[in-house]
Amino acid sequence: DVKVTQSSRYLVKRTGEKVFLECVQDMDHENMFWYRQDPGLGLRLIYFSYDVKMKEKGDIPEGYSVSREKKERFSLILESASTNQTSMYLCASSSSGSRDTQYFGPGTRLTVL
Amino acid sequence: SQKIEQNSEALNIQEGKTATLTCNYTNYSPAYLQWYRQDPGRGPVFLLLIRENEKEKRKERLKVTFDTTLKQSLFHITASQPADSATYLCALSLTTDSWGKLQFGAGTQVVVTP
């Protein structure tokens, strides 16, 4: 079974802090994604990566950056956390040619105070 | 503008009945349409995928239809059980897109009561 793990289930940070969210997948997937999910807004794509060191902006990249130094690991960085970044963050991965089925991690509930 | 619409109101249904969820989209040309299940506080889990040239797909008690003329997919849970209570998301995989991006609807919550 595909396994996607995220570094924390719950995280509380202060405004202005730099925040790192890590995601690891164990199925050698080429594609990895970071979403945030807010009530009534659904899943919104922040960034995605289709290969090591490659990244593309999603629909809401402002205030975020990403890093993919190894194929299995995709990190989301909040350079200076703000209260409007309080949300559920979900990581996903997929294999090229798999008709885009995505496998999600358990999510990180981030609260910025 | 591009939109994916799912009923925002929760669907309350009695155990044993069929739950039917709707996913409508505008200004997309999806190659595939997928349905995911999400439990509270968890990540979505893939359920079913249907291609643009397929009319219907089944998996156990689940059935999905895809009408590209109406730009609509219906998701059915037959003989529903309390364990089916969750939020169900539809997602479009676009013909013009690459790298596996999906566009998700906001989801419809299903509550199955005994």
* A85 three-state secondary structure: helix
Measure CB to CB from residue B49 to each of A45, A95, A101 and give the nearest one: A101
Element (H, E) at B11: strand B11-14
Q: Which residues lie closer than 8 Å to A28 by C-beta, 6 or more apart? A: A71, A72, A95
Query: B106 and A42 in contact by Cβ < 8 A?
Result: yes
What's the rounded Cα separation, in Å, for the pair B33 and A99? 10
Per-residue pLDDT averaged across A76-105, rounded? Answer: 91
Q: What is the pLDDT of residue B96?
A: 60
CA B70 to chain centre: 15
What's the rounded Cα separation, in Å, for the pair A2 and A27? 6
| CATH numbers and ranges of domains, chain A | 4-112 (2.60.40.10)
Measure CB to CB from residue A106 to each of B42, B91, B100 and give the nearest one: B42
CB atoms within 10 A of CB B77: 24
What's the rounded Cα separation, in Å, for the pair B11 and A102? 25
Query: B101 and A43 in contact by Cβ < 8 A?
Result: no
**pLDDT tens across B1-23, in order?**
778 999 889 999 999 999 999 99
Let me know: does A20 contact A75? Beta carbons within 8 Å.
yes
Looking up tokens 């294999």, which residue turns up? A95
Q: What is the pLDDT of residue B98?
A: 63
Q: What is the pLDDT of residue A2?
A: 67
Chain A CB contacts of B96 below 8 Å: none
- Please, what is the average pLDDT of chain A? 93
Looking up tokens 């956390």, which residue turns up? A81
**pLDDT exceeds 90 at position A78:** yes
Tokens of A32: 């990895």
Looking up tokens 């794509």, which residue turns up? A45
Q: What is the pLDDT of residue A99?
A: 66
- Dihedral pair phi/psi, residue A96, rounded to 5°: -60, 135
At residue B86 the predicted structure's pLDDT band, cuts being 50, 70 and 90, is very high
A78 against B32, higher pLDDT: A78
- Dihedral pair phi/psi, residue B9, rounded to 5°: -80, 140
Per-residue pLDDT averaged across B88-94, rounded? Answer: 91
Per-residue pLDDT averaged across A1-29, rounded? Answer: 94
Q: What is the pLDDT of residue B32?
A: 87
**pLDDT exceeds 80 at position A98:** no
Chain B residue nearest residue A37, CA to CA:
B106
Chain B CB contacts of A95 below 8 Å: 100
**pLDDT exceeds 70 at position B52:** yes
| CATH numbers and ranges of domains, chain B | 3-85+93-113 (2.60.40.10)
Cβ-Cβ pairs closer than 8 A, A with B, add up to 64
Question: Which has the minimum average pLDDT: A13-27, A64-78, A88-102?
Answer: A88-102
Tokens of B5: 């619409």
Burial (CB count <10 Å: 0-12, 13-18, 19+), residue B22: middle
Q: What is the pLDDT of residue B66?
A: 94
* B66 three-state secondary structure: strand
Q: What is the pLDDT of residue B94?
A: 76
Chain B CB contacts of A48 below 8 Å: 99-101
Q: What is the pLDDT of residue B95?
A: 63
Q: What is the pLDDT of residue B3?
A: 87
**pLDDT tens across B23-41, in order?**
999 988 888 899 999 999 8
